[in-house]
Amino acid sequence: KKRIVSGVQPTGNLHFGNYLGAIKQWVDNQDKYDNFFFVVDLHAITVPQDPKNLKAGVINAAATYLAAGIDPEKSKVFVQSHVGAHAELTWLLTCATPINWLEKMIQFKEKKTKQGENVGTGLLTYPVLMASDILLYRPDLVPVGEDQRQHLELTRDLARRFNDQFCKRRRKTFKDPQALIVKEGARVMSLTDGTSKMSKSDPVEGSRINLTDSPDVIAKKLRRCKTDMHQGLEWDNPDRPECTNLLTIYQAVTGKTREEVSLEVGDMSWGTFKPLLADATVEHLRPLQARYKDILEDRSYLNKVLRDGAEAADEVASETLGWAKEAMGISSLK
């Protein structure tokens, strides 16, 4: 089986975008790959976090993975910071990374412009941590959205540079990972602006459906979400990004094809469609939410899953880290 590595940051409530763009695809392909799924807490602190919220966020994210159908028998589920090799390899790779490679990252430039003088060093160096996250597990494939493509390229460049520089007469330390480009249409947009993506950090709570929102809250958010004055409902009209987005959500939660959705709801008004969408969304999330509640009630189970996951992940990660150290001359006592 090909190996795959992926994760979500515990920076707030996980929402429908994280679900359709990441977690649901992990679940759907779980039997196909050898999976490493982690909660990416070390990345979360590149911007300020409330420590209490972060701690709770890690647990909630892990519980969401399991509730969505990630099976610890089939996938290694763990928290990034529980495997020390992530931070350790990051230091080794940081020392082997030209600073201008990091300064040209588009996300860094954008965030730096936004945050000005207060920008933390972690924002600059975080692609090196991401490279470590990936390279430690020697995966074949890394699922990435368009916005992370440049960081995966950097990971590959770092791997090649390290192998060339330090592994001339020894086996290569790192494997070259390939991008698994996430399916088109997997991008869920904000409920209040169909041109920007649904995001945890959007200050407008009504812009997203959280996976743990109650039925009432889901119905209210969808009742209030942005629509338009056009007649009927249709896909891909560039003037109607909200319409395409809501149909995409409807398609995902009902499991129907685009054509079936068009036939069913094409002639509907927003007033008829919105409650239908709300009901279908609530129904789709019902089993996930029930499992989520159960998992959080029995923390000993979740703790065991995360402990076992970290142990299994550590076995692979420590081996790669050992090779990297050896290659660089960071000696053990042997």
Answer yes or no whether residue 18 interacts with ligand AQP by CB under 6 A.
yes
Work out how close the CB of 173 gets to ligand AQP at its nearest, in angstroms, rounded to a whole number.
Answer: 26
The nearer residue to ligand AQP, 47 or 328, going by C-beta atoms, is 47
Burial class (CB in 10 A: 0-12, 13-18, 19+), 32: exposed
Over the window 112 to 151, marking each residue x when it contacts ligand AQP by CB under 6 A and - when it does not, the resulting string is: ---------------------------------x------
Task: Clarify whether 304 is annotated catalytic.
Answer: no
Beta-bridge partner residues of 77: 37
Exposure b/e, 112-137, CB count within 10 A at least 16 = b: beeeeeebeeebbbbbbbbbbbbbbb
Considering only CA atoms, which of 36, 34, 47 is closest in space to residue 7?
Answer: 36
Considering the candidates 111, 172, 226, 325, report the single residue annotated as catalytic.
111
Binding mask 80-99 for ligand AQP (x = CB under 6 A): --------------------
Find the binder of ligand AQP among 200, 221, 240, 284 (CB under 6 A): 200
Whole-Å CA distances, 180 to 141, 144, 183, 197: 6, 6, 9, 20
Asked whether position 201 contacts ligand AQP by CB under 6 A, the answer is: yes
Query: Is 111 part of the annotated catalytic residue set?
Result: yes
Q: Is 55 a catalytic residue?
A: no
CA–CA separation, 218 vs 206, rounded Å?
A: 9
| CB closer to ligand AQP, 188 vs 302 | 188
Task: Give the Cα separation of 67 and 280 in Å (integer).
Answer: 18
Contact positions vs ligand AQP (CB under 6 A) = 8-9, 11, 17-18, 20-22, 40, 145, 186-188, 197-201
